[in-house]
Amino acid sequence: MHFSACKKSLEAGKHVICEKPLVSSLEEVDKLSQISKETGKIIFPVFQYRYGPGFSKLKALIKSGLAGKPLVASLETHWNRGKEYYSKAWRGTWKGEQGGAILSHSIHIHDLICMILGPVSNVYAKLTTRVNDIEVEDCAALSIEMKNGSLVTSSITLGAANDTSRLKFCFEGLTIESAASPDKPYNPAEDEWKFLPRTPVTQKQIDEILLKVKQPKTWYSGMFDEIAKKLDGVTSDEVTLEDARRSLEFVTAVYNSSRQNKNISIPIGKNNPLYKVLPIVTMGIPPTGLLAAIFILGEKPTVELFIGGSVIIIGVIMILYTKKKGVKE
């Protein structure tokens, strides 16, 4: 990932703008945070989906008090990624990408839900590979509970007919739904949103608030504008290192939930083995994965674990042997 480059840049006295995912573990995020404090330089993670009129209007309605208590939300990341996309050797592999649709595609929409509803309390995830012949996941279903008690579902696939991203929020006083235009899957905040009242809130009250919302800069221009404000010392709404940490912690919990088939709570403390290594690091590498599951992630060394691990290892050996034999012939 980007730990070494970020570290060297901070120590060289430079501010840093870094793409997602920032680094490979929560420990690395915290190390960068400490270096940032010591050098006085800032890391700005890239989460450009945050910027656009949709979220500006939603934030204004929440601030006004009209929205009330959040109840539920649903997310859709339904994109189309096929053989052409995965023709690059590093894509679709644990070594090359360190994850699939969760890490590379839906990470933005999950950042958005946290921006609106706050931190995650726990998550249960089912990940699978159904669309492409790749190592990593390309379909997922997540059940998420936020710390404020609201519930969120997230549906993810790379096997849709086109690329669409959709968000729907139900608050006590209103329901908000983004569009799912196939020409704006990577900038849902710029699409047309519906803001519908729930009694006793009226449409007139909603419209009065929305009329006061200024047209913001969107996507990357909005993100860079907030970075400039921060560096100029004025009030800003930039993405922070803590936002990136929260995103990585959520991804860590999702992969661990799928691997262990159980609900995973957040936060992940420093005493947790996952603090220093993501579950994805041990996936796709059978021998080290088996040992890491026992000694790093705390799995019980059951008969089933060793049988499953042995079958995978034998399978990998047979594949390598077959390939080697084929080359000789």
How does DSSP assign 228-277, residue by residue?
HHHHHTS------HHHHHHHHHHHHHHHHHHHHTS-EES---TTSGGGTS
User: What's the pTM?
Assistant: 0.82
Instruction: Flag whether 110 is in a domain.
Output: yes
Residues 165 and 297 in one domain: no
DSSP state of 198: -
Residues 178 and 307 in one domain: no
The DSSP line for 79-137 is EE--TTGGGSTTTT-HHHHSSSHHHHTSHHHHHHHHHHH--EEEEEEEEE--SSS-SS-
- Helix/strand/coil for 213: coil
Torsion of CA 98, 24, 271, 153, to 10 degrees: -60
Residues 295 and 191 in one domain: no
Q: Give the separation between CA 148 and CA 116, rounded to whole angstroms.
A: 11
Instruction: Flag whether 165 is in a domain.
Output: yes
Instruction: Flag whether 11 is in a domain.
Output: no
Asked which of 182, 200, 216 is the last residue of a domain, the reply is 216
Question: Contact at 8 Å (CB) between 24 and 278?
Answer: yes
Domain extent, residue 108, equals 49-216
- In the chain, what's the furthest Cα-to-Cα distance? 77
Q: Give the separation between CA 256 and CA 10, rounded to whole angstroms.
A: 31
Instruction: Flag whether 103 is in a domain.
Output: yes
CB atoms within 10 A of CB 79: 23
From first to last of its 329 residues, the chain has per-residue pLDDT tens of 689 999 999 999 999 999 988 888 899 999 999 999 999 999 999 999 999 999 999 999 999 999 999 999 999 999 999 999 999 999 999 888 888 999 999 999 999 999 999 999 999 999 999 999 999 999 999 999 999 999 999 999 999 999 999 999 999 999 999 987 777 788 888 878 999 999 999 999 999 999 999 988 889 999 999 999 999 999 999 999 999 999 999 999 999 999 999 999 999 988 888 888 766 555 554 555 555 555 555 555 666 556 655 655 565 566 555 544 554 44
Residues 157 and 306 in one domain: no
Residues 82 and 204 in one domain: yes
Residues 211 and 296 in one domain: no
Residues 175 and 319 in one domain: no
Number of domains in the chain: 2
